[in-house]
């Protein structure tokens, strides 16, 4: 988990509310990613960002939004349009120039929506 | 398009015995392969990767993996398993296609249970 912080670790929200998950890094890496993890489904990519003020949709972007105003921060907003938001959310980053390199993951945020 | 398959949901092994976790992949270009481990309620930790070169890759905590291009496989191995190796293991792949942009495709994960 070194270099990437996600807060809070556990988050509870009522259905219909938007919620923002924090992801901060001090590794000075260019690329940042958001994944969703559900039991038995592995990790699915929500959004990714290559550089500041630029981001791309991943495989399951519907109902989510992101921003990348600073290199070290990549917050994820889970909107009320996301039909099944309860999941474990993981933020990761990687050196942009090192496409051959591994991604580094934060500790995750477990979101429960009731 | 790229995809990864981990055919076993769970692998059970006795402590001290060899451990193997299977992974097969499909990519359109050259594969870049990774193994990660996840402990309960934690993020993923990088174990090892294959980019090019020697087909046998050594990684953290005594793990190694063998790249087999003809079988499109990248199985994770450890000669002698420890109880502390019990965790969820993920295989991931990316290819060097122009539209992949470093995106990783993950397998569904394999739960490893090592019994004393």
- Retrieve residue A87's tokens: 């999941």
Region A51-80: mean pLDDT is 95
pLDDT above 80: residue A93 = yes
Interface test with B, best of A103, A106, A109, A110 (most B CBs within 10 A): A103
How far is the alpha carbon of A18 from chain B, nearest alpha carbon, in Å?
Answer: 23
Q: Count of residues for chain A?
A: 114
pLDDT, average across residues A60-89: 95
Please report residues of A whose CB lies closer than 8 A to that of B108: 40-42
Taking CA atoms, B98 is separated from A16, A32, A93, B51, B101, in Å, by 39, 18, 20, 17, 7
Residue with tokens 């499909």: B26
Contact A42 B90 (CB under 8 A): yes
Pair of tokens at residue B89: 């293991």
CB contact under 8 A, A42 and B108: yes
Condensed to tens digits (0 to 9), the pLDDT of residues A1-42 reads 558 999 999 999 999 999 999 999 998 888 899 999 998 788
- Each residue of A57-66: pLDDT tens digit? 999 999 999 9
A99 and B108 within 8 Å at the Cβ level: the answer is: no
pLDDT of residue B51: 87
* pLDDT beneath 50, residues of chain B: none
């Amino acid at each position: 988990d070194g270099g990437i912080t996600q807060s809070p670790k556990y988050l509870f929200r009522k259905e219909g509310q938007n919620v923002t998950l924090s992801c901060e890094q001090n590794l000075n890496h260019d690329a940042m990613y958001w994944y969703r993890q559900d039991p038995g489904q592995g990790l699915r990519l929500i959004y990714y960002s290559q550089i500041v003020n630029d981001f791309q949709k991943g495989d399951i972007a519907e109902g989510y939004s992101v921003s990348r105003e600073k290199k070290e921060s990549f917050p994820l907003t889970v909107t009320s349009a996301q039909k099944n938001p309860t999941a474990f959310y993981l933020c990761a980053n990687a050196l942009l120039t090192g496409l051959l390199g591994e991604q580094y993951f934060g500790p995750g945020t477990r979101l429960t929506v009731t | 398009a790229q995809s990864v398959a981990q055919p076993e949901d769970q692998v059970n092994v006795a402590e001290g015995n060899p451990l193997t976790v299977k992974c097969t992949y499909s990519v359109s270009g050259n594969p870049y392969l990774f193994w990660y481990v996840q402990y309960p309620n934690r993020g993923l930790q990088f174990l090892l990767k294959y980019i090019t070169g020697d087909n046998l890759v050594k990684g953290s905590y005594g793990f190694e993996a063998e790249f087999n291009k003809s079988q499109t496989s990248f199985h994770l191995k450890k000669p002698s398993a420890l109880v502390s190796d019990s965790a969820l293991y993920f295989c991931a792949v990316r290819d060097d296609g122009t539209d992949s942009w470093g995106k990783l495709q993950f397998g569904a994960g394999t739960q490893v249970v090592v019994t004393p």
